[in-house]
């Protein structure tokens, strides 16, 4: 079975935008509903302007394997 990825990111420690916890819970709920395996990847304080984000890089590497 394939494994899906939940990726959550928040670039600043402000109340603006959706929390990573909410992003993760929404993704996990969908994958559980569909019966999929999944992994969770979460980055804090990284801008979306760059792809150099630790959890994002791990997720992309996992997809290549």
Distance CA 47, CA 12 (A): 8
1 CA to centre of own chain? 20
Domain of 24, in residue numbers? 3-64
Q: Residue 21: which residues within 8 A CB-CB, separation 6 or more?
A: 8
Per-residue pLDDT of the chain (65 residues; tens, 9 = 90+): 788 999 999 887 666 778 899 999 999 999 999 999 999 999 988 888 888 999 999 999 988 88
Q: What is the CATH number of the domain that holds 35?
A: 3.40.50.1390
Q: What is the pTM assigned to this prediction? A: 0.80
Distances from the Cα of 20 to the Cαs of 40, 48, 57, 65, in angstroms? 11, 14, 17, 26
Q: Which residues contact 27 (CB under 8 A, 6 or more apart)?
A: 6, 7, 8, 38, 40
């Amino acid at each position: 079975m394939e494994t899906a990825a939940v990726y959550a990111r928040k670039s600043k420690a402000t109340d603006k935008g959706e929390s990573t916890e909410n992003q993760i819970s929404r993704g996990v709920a969908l994958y559980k509903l569909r019966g999929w395996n999944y992994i969770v990847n979460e980055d804090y304080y990284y801008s979306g302007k760059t792809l150099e984000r630790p959890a994002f890089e791990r997720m992309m590497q996992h997809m290549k394997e």
